[in-house]
Amino acid sequence: MDASVAAAFDAFDAAAPEGWRVELIEGKIHVVPPANGEHEEIVSEVTGQVRDHRKDYGRYTGLGLHVPGASDTGKVIPDLVIAPKGSFADDQRYHDPAPVVLVGEVTSESTAANDRGPKLRGYARAGIPCYLLIDREAGTVIVYSEPSEDRYTRAAEIEISKTVALPEPLGFDLDTSRF
């Protein structure tokens, strides 16, 4: 990676105001403002359903991951990460995605293009078994699974307000009626 990009990323990351996220995706620095209330309500609803169905999994927000292929450093902060409890019990800012079973993104005007493209490819390259894309602009929820190289080989798409099956190891139906 270009040393100047890495230095700029580190500077933006260090200077970002509370609640702002700085990500390096496919070689480009993205500074993302804090989420709005609707966004956070959706994330809260998903995490609540995971808690209700799978108590052995932790629900993480604001957690940095190293996602190979998303960029040279692969530094991203998904809206939601599901992994076995205790998977990230260290002081690292960005973690190996190996224990992750699901990563989720809720689109907004400022993040939709990255969520639908570079992050989709990066999460597949990282071998993350399930990518949950809640696309508010399109009014859809897409559950991507079975990663292979830079894509997912399965995708189940529904309209927001319906129910969609999450693959194993989660193995429950996600009700999107409260989104």
pTM for this model (two decimals): 0.84
Given CA atoms 15, 28, 76, 137 in this order, what sign does their dihedral have?
positive
- According to DSSP, residue 86 is labeled T
On the question of pLDDT at 34 being above 70, the answer is: no
Per-residue pLDDT of 3-21, as tens digits, reads 776 777 778 777 776 777 7
Total domains in the fold of the chain:
1
Per-residue pLDDT of 46-66, as tens digits, reads 999 999 999 999 999 989 999
User: What CATH number does the domain containing 46 carry?
Assistant: 3.90.1570.10
Domain range for 152: 35-175
Q: What is the 3-state secondary structure of 121-150?
A: HHHHHCCCCEEEEEECCCCEEEEEEEEECC
Instruction: Look at residue 13 and tell me if it is in a domain.
Output: no
Maximum C-alpha span of the chain: 46
Contact 94, 64 (CB under 8 A): yes
Instruction: Look at residue 136 and tell me if it is in a domain.
Output: yes
